Amino acid sequence: MDSISLIGMASVVTAGLTVAIGSIGPSLGEGRSVAQALSSIAQQPDETNNITRTLFVGLAMIESTAIYCFVVAMILIFANPFWDHVIAK
Amino acid sequence: MQFSRWQNLLEILVKGMQNQIKDISHQETGIYLPFAGTLFLFIAVCNLLSIVPGYTPPTASLSTTAALAICVFAAVPLYGILNRGLLGYLRQYIRPTMFMLPFNIMGELSRTLALAVRLFGNMMSGAKIGAILLAIAPLFFPIIMHALGLLTGLIQAYIFAVLAMVYIASATRAQQERGQKQEKKQEEKGEKSNG
């Protein structure tokens, strides 16, 4: 197998694995935090504004790990430096 | 007296932003409103404009979001020094101990990176997903995802502004808390002397 097809295969497979595995953790975390926030709102409806704002900020923090994985996958597919190097040769 | 529609809209926007800033920072909103408000309005308009066909939102480019994140990165020490003085601001880096200095600096840098990549990733993924769905399941399904993208865009603008405000508040707050504690002590003393 020459290096072009090897690099292409490796990057596509790795990109899929990156998103698949990288989304497990953040989704579990987001589910937990939303469930907790909902039960808190049910207990204290007066504090809805505070809880919602903190929830959004926290969700953004949690989500950023998934976004990192997505960006890495996008780099692997669309802007892969190794692929460019092999093609340019 | 009759208010025009535009004045109503602007008042709602400005008042809402002022309330949010006040909730986050527990301070006067005067010097924070221009910065945080501009961030929010710019990003929100950029993200909402993605509904125009064939228009890539500026926030789907890493250059724009990196520039915005660098603005936040520069504004945090600026407001911190304005509020607490140079030494007071620098002292928070060696808190609680001297050994935390490298971690504090790394945290400052990594949250700037996170700010840029988060906005970029969200907006770019919206555009990419729209394009991919248009290729495999045309016309109806992409519209739903696009409508969802509008919601995501507005939330991302809100999150960016709120996070910038949270960072600024954390750089400016410590002194204020100390001030409040002193006030409380004085009040307690006053109550004791009164009682």
Q: What is the pLDDT of residues A11-21, one digit of tens each?
A: 999 999 999 99
DSSP conformation letters of A32-62:
HHHHHHHHHHHH-GGGHHHHHHHHHHHHHHH
What pLDDT was estimated at residue A14?
Answer: 93
Q: Is the pLDDT of residue B177 over 60?
A: no
Between the ranges B12-21, B98-107, B140-149, B181-190, where is the mean pLDDT highest?
Answer: B12-21
Asked if residue B24 is part of any domain, the answer here is no
Q: Is the pLDDT of residue B21 over 90?
A: no
What pLDDT was estimated at residue B53?
Answer: 77
What pLDDT was estimated at residue B66?
Answer: 93
Q: Which overall architecture, per CATH, does domain A3-78 show? A: Up-down Bundle (1.20)
Query: Do residues B21 and B32 make contact, with C-beta atoms less than 8 angstroms apart?
Result: yes
What pLDDT was estimated at residue B195?
Answer: 46
A57: distance to nearest CA of chain B, Å? 6
A5: distance to nearest CA of chain B, Å? 24
What pLDDT was estimated at residue B181?
Answer: 58
Averaged pLDDT for residues B50-61? 84
Asked if residue B74 is part of any domain, the answer here is yes
Window B:99-128, CB contacts with A under 8 Å: 114, 117-118, 120-122, 124-125, 128
Q: Which residue of B has its CA nearest to A69?
A: B121
0.90 surpassed by complex ipTM: no
Asked if residue B179 is part of any domain, the answer here is no
Query: Do residues B123 and B155 make contact, with C-beta atoms less than 8 angstroms apart?
Result: no
Q: Is the pLDDT of residue B176 over 70?
A: no
Averaged pLDDT for residues B106-125? 87
Candidates B19, B46, B59, B66; CA nearest to B165 is B19
How many folded domains does chain B comprise? 1
Choice among B23-27, B95-99, B150-154, B188-192 with the minimum mean pLDDT: B188-192
User: CB-based contact (8 Å) between B163 and chain A?
Assistant: yes
Averaged pLDDT for residues B143-147? 84
Interface test mutation site (partner B, options A23, A53, A54, A77, max chain B beta carbons within 10 A): A53
- Considering only CB atoms, which chain B residues are within 8 Å of A70? 121, 125
Choice among A14-23, B11-20, B46-55, B66-75 with the minimum mean pLDDT: B46-55
Asked if residue B54 is part of any domain, the answer here is yes
Asked if residue B114 is part of any domain, the answer here is yes
B112: amino acid identity, one letter: T
Asked if residue B94 is part of any domain, the answer here is yes
Q: What mean pLDDT value characterizes chain B?
A: 83
User: CB-based contact (8 Å) between A53 and chain B?
Assistant: yes
Asked if residue B23 is part of any domain, the answer here is no
Q: What share of chain A is helix, strand, coil (3-state, %, to 5)?
A: 90, 0, 10
What pLDDT was estimated at residue A49?
Answer: 85
Averaged pLDDT for residues A18-33? 93
Per-domain residue ranges for chain A? 3-78
Tens digits of residue pLDDT in A49-84: 888 888 888 888 888 888 888 888 888 888 888 888
What is the span of the domain harbouring residue B139? 30-168
